[in-house]
A = this chain, B = another copy of it.
Amino acid sequence: MQHNRIYLLRLCRIKMKRRQTESKMGILNALKKANSALSHDMLETLIDTPIDRATIYRVLNSFCEDGLVHKTLGDDGKQYFALCGHCAENEHGHNHTHFHFRCLNCGKVECLKSDVHIPLPTGYTFENFNGFITGRCSICI
C-alpha cells in the first residue's frame, strides 16, 4: 500500500486532472524528507526554489483532497501537513484519528502511531478529529 511519490502524482494526474509541477515535487519531497508534519513556513524554508505562499497552500490542499496528505491544526494556530503513512484504514477509506505531537524546543510535529479512541456521548455523531499534544521530544530531552 506504500507507493512512491512519482507514482502517486501520476495517479492524481489521471484521476483528478492534476498536473505534475516543480512546486508539487518540491513540496512532496520536502514532506518525505522531513518525515514529519510541516507548516507552510517550514516548507518555505526547506524548499530551495522559492514558491509563493498561496501556491504552497493550494498545493497542500490539493494533496489533501487527493488523499496524499492530511492536515491538522496545531495548538499554535498553524496548519500542519503530513504524508499519509500509517493512517488507520477502515471500510470508508482511511482516517486520521491519531494525535500529533509538537516539540516545544525543536518545533518538529509528528504523527503519533496509536489510533485514538473517541469517547462520544450517546446520540452524538462523529465528523472530524484534531488532537494535538505539546511537550519535548526524546532528542530535546
Contact = CB atoms under 8 A, between A and B. Distances in A.
Most chain B beta-carbon neighbours within 10 Å: one of A75, A99, A104, A124: A124
A47 interface: no
Interface in A105-137: 112, 114, 118-137
Q: Binding site of A, secondary structure by majority: helix, strand, loop or mixed?
A: strand
Given A77-B77, A130-B133, A131-B132, 5 more contacts: A99-B131, A101-B121, A112-B119, A126-B135, A131-B131
Nearest to A127: B135
Copies of the polypeptide in the assembly? 2
Given A73-B73, A73-B77, A77-B73, A127 B104 contact: yes
B135 A132 contact: no
Interface of A: 73, 75, 77, 99, 101, 104, 112, 114, 118-138, 141
A12 B64 CA distance: 46
Contacts of A137: 123-124
